[in-house]
Amino acid sequence: MVMDPLLPFDYRRLKADLRDSLFGQHIASDVVLKAVSSFMTDSNPNKPLVLSFHGTTGTGKNHVAKIIARNIYKEGEKCKHVHTYISDYHFPDKRISHIYSAQLKQLIIQAVYWFPRSMFIFDEMDKMHPQLIDFIKPFLDYNAHVDGVSFNKAIFIFLSNAVGNVITEVALDFWRSGKERKEIRMNSKELETKISEKYILYITSGFSHSSLIDYHLIDHYVPFLPLELKHVYQCVIVEMMHMNFMPNYDLAGEVARDMPYYPEKERAFAVKGCPAPCLQGLWSNKYLSIACLVLSICLVQLLSLSFGVLPVGVGLGLFQ
Ligand SMILES: Nc1ncnc2c1ncn2[C@@H]1O[C@H](COP(=O)(O)OP(=O)(O)OP(=O)(O)O)[C@@H](O)[C@H]1O
Ligand SMILES: [Mg+2]
């Protein structure tokens, strides 16, 4: 019996997941919730869902792509119908973009032929060769049929750091004028328009003209705001729980404060956003290093006791 890889779509589950696991991204949360819900509950969409995520590093772009995946597929991002491509990794040699394009085209068609509700995540979209971007274009259009395969049920998510600075400028203006972060809205699509315009400029200045953007094939440009200390703090708590530490709120505060912020004086936003799981910064924190050291020593002690070997600590005169 073939198991259905899809979860029954549940608006409230996605809403709760975004509320509980995404910090400081009220715009992304709203846009994603609305876009994904209406797409997933439409039995006959006239176009694939195409989302373009923008923001500086560590603000949650990949994180949200994973949240979407785990609300659509039983196996989440690990589902075989979720295809992730990273520009520098999958298409490193710009000279052979035509070969990548042909391969990519075949892969996408095959995937959607076998499973129309497939998801494609393109990471580092800003580093992708325009030729490759143009190859993706026919899949994104209204009632797109390529080689007899309909793409109307597929989901494309593009991730990019490009124009992160535009978003930062807007957020910094709000921050400096003492306005609430939540007041930053996609007001009359103002911010969205700003992002798309700057993105076009970015793409067209760096590369040859790419038609992906001209044709308005992207349904939503989603801004990821730079994160503040309180959001980094929340991330650190979550990270501690993932690492099976009892959350230590003082320590989390210390770790969050130890991270670099900008502008230098105001320390409004975290330079690296949230720390990526475990390795990206937490271990460099002195307190966590000590915690890790103590933990490792205890582990060695435990192992030595279970195997009847002399505890290392005794030999070192640490445990008497
Ligand atoms: N806004 C957020 N809310 C909750 N967790 C977050 C948020 N942003 C980042 N994280 C955490 O930090 C990790 C790194 O974030 P993520 O990989 O999503 O960043 P990114 O925006 O894709 O950055 P980059 O541009 O460097 O690829 C995530 O796996 C997640 O654990
Ligand atoms: Mg990323």
**Of 17, 18, 59, best ligand 1 pocket probe by most atoms within 8 Å of the beta carbon:** 59
| Ligand 2: centre distance to CA 53 (Å) | 10
Q: What is the CATH number of domain 11-224?
A: 3.40.50.300
In whole angstroms, how large is the CA radius of gyration of the chain?
23
Strand-pair partners of 150: 145
Q: Which residue has the tokens 């589902």?
A: 79
Amino acid at 220: H
The pLDDT tens digits of the residues spanning 155-194 come to 999 999 988 888 898 888 888 888 888 877 765 456 666 6
Considering only CA atoms, which residue is closest to atom 13 of ligand 1? Answer: 276
146 with 109: CB under 8 angstroms?
A: yes
Give me the chain's average pLDDT, please: 83
| % of the chain at pLDDT higher than 70 | 76
| Ligand 2: centre distance to CA 316 (Å) | 44
The pLDDT tens digits of the residues spanning 217-253 come to 889 888 999 999 999 999 999 999 988 888 899 999 9
* Residues bordering ligand 2, an ion, CB closer than 5 Å: 61-62
| Ligand 1: centre distance to CA 59 (Å) | 5
| Ligand 1: centre distance to CA 254 (Å) | 20
Q: What is the pLDDT of residue 190?
A: 63
Q: What is the pLDDT of residue 209?
A: 45
Q: pTM here? A: 0.84
Q: What is the pLDDT of residue 272?
A: 94
Strand-pair partners of 123: 86
Ligand with minimal distance to 272 CA: 1
Which position has the higher pLDDT, 308 or 167?
167
Coil/strand/helix, residue 128: coil
Half-sphere exposure of 232 (CA within 13 A, CB side): 28
Q: What is the pLDDT of residue 280?
A: 46
pLDDT band at 84 (very low <50, low <70, confident <90, very high): very high
The pLDDT tens digits of the residues spanning 247-279 come to 899 999 999 999 999 999 999 999 999 976 554
Q: What is the pLDDT of residue 287?
A: 56
| Gap between the Cα atoms of 100 and 91, Å rounded | 7
| % of the chain at pLDDT higher than 90 | 52
**Of 62, 68, 224, 271, best ligand 1 pocket probe by most atoms within 8 Å of the beta carbon:** 62
The pLDDT tens digits of the residues spanning 278-290 come to 544 445 555 555 5
35 with 72: CB under 8 angstroms?
A: no
In the structure, which protein residues have their CB atom closer than 6 angstroms to any atom of ligand 1? 21-25, 55, 57-63, 159, 161, 224, 227, 235, 273-274, 276-277
